[in-house]
Structure 1
Amino acid sequence: MSQPISSVYQVWIDAFIAYLHNERGMSEHTQKNYQKQLTIIALQLTSFGVESWQKLDVPWVRQVAAKGAREGLKPNSLATRMSCLRSFLDYLVLKGELVANPAKGISTPRNHKRLPKNLDVDETGQLLDIDMDDPLAIRDRSIMELMYGTGMRLSELIQLNVKNVLGDRGEIRVIGKGNKERIVPFSGEAKRWVLLWLNTRPSLLKMEEEALFISKRGTRISHRNVQKRMSEWGIKQGVSSHITPHKLRHSFATHILESSGNLRAVQEMLGHESLSTTQVYTHLDFQHLAQAYDKAHPRAKKKPES
C-alpha cells in the first residue's frame, strides 16, 4: 500500500483530477498518471518540510527535479514528472492559489525520441496477406488494415463502436486525445475488410455489444489482445520486424507523406494538435519541408523582376 499524503496536498490533487476529467476530457489513463506523479511529488515535498503546494517556490521545484535524478529516473521519465507538476501548478495559478508557476522555465535533460522503424510497402503487403475463413483472422486483418489505412491510435481503435462506421460515406468517427472527435476517411482494402468483419462479427456475439471489434468472448477487445495478436501475425507471416499498433500508425504516416508531401493533411489524419508533433513523428528532414514550402506557400515563390 502506498504511503498516505497530507489532506492539505490531497485536496488539490483531487480537485485537479476532477478538472482534467470534467473540463479537459482527458482519458482515465492520463488522469491516473497525473495522480501517481503528483502523489510522489507531494510525498517528496512533505519529506523536505514544505507544508503545502502554496509554499512551493523555484528552489523547492529544483529539489524535486534533483531528487528524481538521484533516484535514477531516466531523462524522459523525469521530464514527464516535471511536466505533470507544471500543468498542476498552472491549475493552482488559475484558481488563485499561486501568483506564478514556480516550475516554469526549469528544464530537465531529455532523450531524443526514438521513432519506430516503419514497415516498407512490401513488408506491409506481406503482413496483410491474410485470407482465411476464421472469424478471428478476419477480425485481425480488419484491425490491421484499418490501422494502416487510417493511422488511428490503438486507443482510438479500441473505443470504436459499430455506429461510428459510416461505410456508405467512407468515413469513421474517431474519438481522439482530449475526447476530441474527428472524421477519418477510409477506403480500399481497409473499407473492404471492415465491411467483411461487420458481416462476420455476429458469429462471435454472445450478448448485446456496441463495440466494433470484439474478442472471442463477445466483449470489447482489449489493448493487450490487439498487441498480442499483431505480434503473432508478424511472426506467422514471416515479417522480419516486430509488429505493433504504433508501427502500423507510423508506417501509414510515412507512406502517405512520402507519396503526397502533404504534411498538414497527415497532421489532421493522425489527430495531432501541433504540426511540430507530426514533423517529429514522420522523421522529416529539413530539405523535404523546405521543398514543400517552396512549392506550396504563396509568399515563397520568387516574383519576376520588373
Structure 2
Amino acid sequence: MKLKNKLAGYLEYCKFRKELDEKTLKAYRIDLKQYFNFVSCDEPDKEKIEEYITELHKKYKQKTVKRKIATLKAYYNYLEEEEIINDNPFRRIKVKFKENVTLPRIIPREEIEQLLNFMYNRLDENDNSVYKYRLRDVVVVEMLFATGARVYEISNIREDSIDLNSGLIRIMGKGGKERYVQISNSSLLAMMKKYFVENRTEIKESGYFFVNNRGNRYTKQSIRLMLKKYTKQAGIERNITPHMFRHSFATYLIEEGVDVSCVQQILGHSSIKTTQIYIHVAAKKQAEILREMHPRNNMKIAGAA
C-alpha cells in the first residue's frame, strides 16, 4: 500500500473537514513530503522512523522538530481512523522534548501610550485627504491591544461581524473557529463608529471592516508596515510587531489578576498550556516590582546578611 499516495486525500480532509488555513496546510504538505523523501519507501518500519526523528533533531530547533513530528502523528492517526493501516507505528515510538522556554516579548505600557498619543495627535492635522486612513490606523492599533487578536484575524474581520452598538466582535481564528470579544472601552467604540462613517461606502462594497485606499481589505502585511511607520515616527526605537500587542494584552490582564482560563478564552487558545506562558511573564514583572519597590530592601537590619 502506497501511504504517500494518500497525502492528497489527507490534505483535502484537513482543508474541508478540519477547516485548516492555507498556512497550516502548506506546512503539513512540506513536512510530509520531507518525511517520505527521507524514508524513501511507502511503509517505513519503526527503525526507519526513529532514524528520521534523529535526523530532525540534528537539523532543527526543538520547536520545529515538535511540529514536524506532530504532523506525522496526525497523518498516521488519520490513516488508522480511515482503516488504511492496521498498525500505527507512532503508538510504539516515544518522543520526549526538552524545550527552552522563550518568554513572549511585550510592549512596555508607556510605549503603547506614547504610540497611541502620537497617532491621535496626527488626526488633528489639517489634511482631510488622509484623515479617514489615519482614523483607520488608530482603530486597528487600538483593536490589536483591546482584543489580543492576531493580525490576520483583525485583517479578516467582516463588516457584519461587528456590532457597533454593543461593541461585540466575532473573530474567526485558526481552523475556522469563531470567538466573540467585547470592546469595553467607550472611547475606542466611538472611534470605530467614526471610522465606519468615514469609510462606509468602501466597507459596504468590500464586505471587510478594515479597507485600504483602493477599497480592498486592509492586509496583514499592510498593517505590519503601518505599525512600523508609526512606531518610527513616534520616536520609539523598539521594533514593535502586531503580535506583541497580543502578548502585551494577555500579560497585562494576568498582571491585573484576570484568571488565566478567561484569557485563554479571549485569545482563542485551544490549550491552556499555551496561555500559561503569560503567567511566567507576569511573574517576572512581579519579581522586578518586589525587588525595586518592597520596603524591606531599604531596611537596615543589624546582623542580617
Q: TM-score, normalised by structure 2?
A: 0.82
Partner SS for 1:182:
strand
Task: Decide which of 72, 77, 81 is 1:94's aligned counterpart.
Answer: 81
1:67-78 aligned at under 5 Å gives the runs 67-70=55-58, 72-78=59-65
Look up the match of 1:275. Answer: 272
- After the TM superposition, which residues 122-133 of structure 1 pair with which residues of structure 2 at under 5 Å, given as runs? 122-129=110-117, 130-131=119-120, 132=123
Cα 1:287/1:122, change in 2 over 3 Å: closer
AA partner of residue 70 (structure 2): S
Assess, with a 3 A threshold, how the Cα gap between structure 1 residues 33 and 242 changes in structure 2: closer, same or farther.
same
Deviations 1:263-301 (A, max 9, x none): 12111111112111110144357899xxxxxxxxxxxxx
Deviations 1:137-191 (A, max 9, x none): 2111111100100111112112101110111122001111121111110131432
**Distance in 1 of aligned mates of 2:226 and 2:140:** 10
What is the alpha-carbon distance in structure 2 between the residues aligned to residue 187 and residue 125 of structure 1? Answer: 18
Structure 1 window deviating more from structure 2 (28-37 vs 278-287): it is 278-287
Higher share in helix: 2
> Could you tell me the TM-score, scaled by structure 1's length?
0.82
2:205 matches 1:221: no
Name the structure 2 match of 1:163.
160
- Report SS of the residue matched to 1:112: coil
Match in the other structure for 1:264: 261
Superposed counterparts of 1:127-276, under 5 Å:
127-129=115-117, 130-131=119-120, 132=123, 134-188=131-185, 189-202=187-200, 205=202, 208-276=205-273
Structure 1 residues 13 and 142: alpha-carbon distance in aligned structure 2, compared to 1, 3 A threshold: same
Which amino acid letter does the alignment assign opposite residue 221 of structure 1? Answer: Y
1:101-140 CA-partner distances (Å, limit 9, x unpaired)? 3234432655424233212222111111112162222111
Contact 1:207 1:218 in 2 (8 A): no
1:301 aligns with: none
* Equivalent AA in structure 1 for residue 251 of structure 2: T
Provide the residue aligned with 2:299 in structure 1. none
Deviation at 1:99, TM superposition (A): 3.0
- Distance in 2, matches of 1:124 and 1:201, equals 26
One-letter amino acid matched to 1:99: N
> Offset of 1:76 from its aligned partner?
2.2
Contact 1:86–1:103 (Cα < 8 Å) also in 2? yes
Pairwise CA RMSD of aligned residues?
A: 2.4
Structure 2 residue runs of 5 or longer lacking an equivalent are 286-305
Structure 1 unmatched runs, 5+: 1-6, 289-306
SS state at 2:86 partner? coil
Aligned equivalents of 1:113, 1:101: Cα separation in 2: 31
Question: In the alignment, which of 83, 103, 121 is matched to residue 115 of structure 1?
Answer: 103
Measured at CA, do residues 151 and 287 of structure 1 come closer, stay the same or move farther in structure 2, by a change above 3 Å? closer
Residue identity matched to 1:96: E
Q: Percent identity?
A: 24
Deviates more, 1:89-98 or 1:247-256: 89-98
* Structure 1 residue matching 2:181: 3-state secondary structure: strand
Paired residues, number: 274
Label 1:257 to 1:17 Cα distance change in 2 as closer, same or farther (>3 A).
Answer: same
Return closer, same or farther for 1:193/1:108 CA change in 2, 3 Å cut-off: farther
What's the CA shift for 1:228?
1.3
Decide whether aligned partners of structure 1 residues 102 and 193 sit closer, same or farther in structure 2, where only a CA change above 3 A counts.
Answer: farther
The residue number in structure 1 matching 2:20 is 26
